[in-house]
Each structure stands twice: as structure tokens, then as C-alpha cells.
Amino acid sequence: MSIESQNVTDYPNSNTIFMVWKLNDSPQLKDIFQQLCALVLNLNNSAFNRFPDSRVSCVMGIGYEAWKKLELPVPLPKELVHFEEIKGTKHTAVSTPGDLHFHLRADNKSLIFDMAVEISKLLGSVAESILEIHGFKYWDARSILGFVDGTENPHGEDRDYFAKIGDEDPQYKGGSYLFVQKYLHDMNAWKSLSMEEQEKVIGRSKENDIEMSDDVKPANSHIALANIEGENGEELKIVRDNMPFGSPSSNEFGTYFIAYASTFGTTKKMLTNMFIGNPPGNYDRILDFSTAVTGTLFFVPTRNMLDEFSG
């Protein structure tokens, strides 16, 4: 039987809903979870058949504590752990709870809104919603800070290579390690910078998204620290699907950082560079303007595994 992954390598689109749920100890929990796995498969199949050009998908991730609580029929994935905070001299990649994560995408927001309603109806008796964010495409894929986001994302076959587990871990082949953070931006402080200063924080030009040359790019720029290499100089990448969100009336603006990776080690190395610094103390300058208020690791099982979990 062929392995079918969830839609972790789909490209970002116009509308997204992110949801994080915390499970309770209801005696119905395992039965509801079986129904949930079947629902996720059904939502994807139905939406694709009804609206094949809408680029719609529902991706579900499962956290470390949930995997144990649900007593799933396969062992914990090797790198699925409780994420421990990464604390630098000034900024911290915090660790926050989360048992189930849903990443809903579509060009038409009506589709994912209805998906979120169905998921919430099913989970309401056995779980608590602890985070819900409605993201949107801002101009030409820019963050609220005004810079293009996701330029370094892999394309083509590289998306599968960097986002999905391969033959090195056959039991979980096609699965993915999902890490998420909600960032809040200090827009007043950001706007107090000149455009030239902002570009030095990011490491790219603001207008046309051109990376600075190495002799000009500051060592503490976001690009310099978020782009990482392995021990032998090989390129290490993740598949980002970041989305901006905001509430102008409450002055809350942010970015939901979401990374799919074949190994959490790659994401963790990037976070360490950003928050502790490379070398230590040389932290990512963007953190002076963007604060991580959540941080949770999940595992995204294949569709085959969801089918198995559904009973």
C-alpha cells in the first residue's frame, strides 16, 4: 500500500485558520479521537471533490502528551518530545501546551470556516480550544512588518525532502514534525526604524526582496541566523507556512510561524541560532520587535496512520 502524507507541502494561500486544542480526561476521549481522524480524512476528500481548484486542506498534528494519553497503536515518533524552552540572554522561545493542532487552508474562507465548525463540534465535549488564529495573505506574501515572508522555502521535490520523513525512519515515513509559534509584533517600535534600519534587521531589501550580500548583511540579521547548514556545510531547510494576523482595533499584530520538517533537529537548530545566537549572544535582531508567546511541537501522521487510528 502506498504511503499518503497529509498536505504538509501545500503552498500558502489566501486564508488560514490555526487551532490548538487541549484534551481532557473524558471517558469518551478515545472514541471521539477515532471519529476525529475519520473526520479529517473526510473533510479533505469531500472538499477536494467539491472544490478541486480551491487549494483546500486540513492538516492535523498530535502533541507528545496527547500521543501518550490516547495510547495510539504505534510508539512515539523518535523526535516527538515535550518542547523545552530555549532561553537566550535577552529572548526566550517559550514552551506552551497543546495536544492537537489543526492547519486549515483554502482560497475561499467559507470552506475552512465550515471545517473548523465541524472539528469544534466534535471536540467540544473532550477538549478545550486554547488558541484560534485566522491568518490571511497580506499583499504579495508579506508579513505585517512589510517584508516578504518565506523566500527561503524549498520548492519542487525539495519540499518533500525537507518536510517529510524518508526511508531513514520507515515506520513514520511520510510523516512530519510540526513546530508552531505565535509571534506578536511591536509595531510602534518597528515603525520608529528607518527603512534602511529595518532592512538590516531582516537582511533583505524591503521593496523587491533581494538578499544583502554577505559583506553587507549584519551577522545578527534574521536571514543570517535563520538560514542554517549542517556539520558538513549541507543546506538544512524547513517548509514554512507562516501567516500574518491582526486586530487593528486592539492593536494586536503578529505572525503565526509554522514549520514542517523531516527532523525536528533542523528546526531546533534554527531556533537556537535565533534565540541564543551564533555565536552565543549574537541573537536574531528581529526578536527585539517580535515576541514569541507560544511554542509547541507536534507530529503530523500520514493519512494511512489516520485511517488506522480511526478504527
Burial class (CB in 10 A: 0-12, 13-18, 19+), 279: exposed
Among 99, 149, 241, 284, which one carries the catalytic annotation?
A: 149
Identify whether the C-beta of residue 83 lies closer than 8 Å to the C-beta of residue 50: no
Q: Omega of the bond prior to 218 within 30 degrees of 0, cis? A: no
pLDDT on residue 231: 85
* 186-201 confidence digits (pLDDT tens): 999 999 999 999 999 9
**Cell numbers for 54:** 480551491
Identify whether the C-beta of residue 99 lies closer than 8 Å to the C-beta of residue 23: yes
Cα–Cα dist 4/183, whole Å: 32
- Dihedral pair phi/psi, residue 260, rounded to 5°: -105, 135
Which pLDDT band, with edges at 50, 70 and 90, does 48 fall under? very high
Active site residue 158: no
Cα–Cα dist 27/194, whole Å: 57
pLDDT on residue 233: 87
Percent of the chain scoring above 70 in pLDDT: 100
Cα–Cα dist 149/203, whole Å: 12
pLDDT on residue 183: 98
Cα–Cα dist 78/177, whole Å: 10
Identify whether the C-beta of residue 106 lies closer than 8 Å to the C-beta of residue 46: no
- Stretch 256-266: mean pLDDT: 98
Cα–Cα dist 183/246, whole Å: 11
Burial class (CB in 10 A: 0-12, 13-18, 19+), 232: exposed
* Chain position carrying cell 517548509: 239
CA angle 263, 16, 42 (to 5 degrees): 80
* 64-103 confidence digits (pLDDT tens): 999 999 999 999 999 999 999 999 999 999 999 999 999 9
Percent of the chain scoring above 90 in pLDDT: 96
HSE at residue 279, side-chain half, CA atoms within 13 A, is 0
pLDDT on residue 141: 95
pTM for this structure? Answer: 0.97
Distances (CA, A) of 176 to 23, 57, 217, 291: 21, 16, 32, 26
* 223-254 confidence digits (pLDDT tens): 999 999 888 889 899 999 999 999 999 999 99
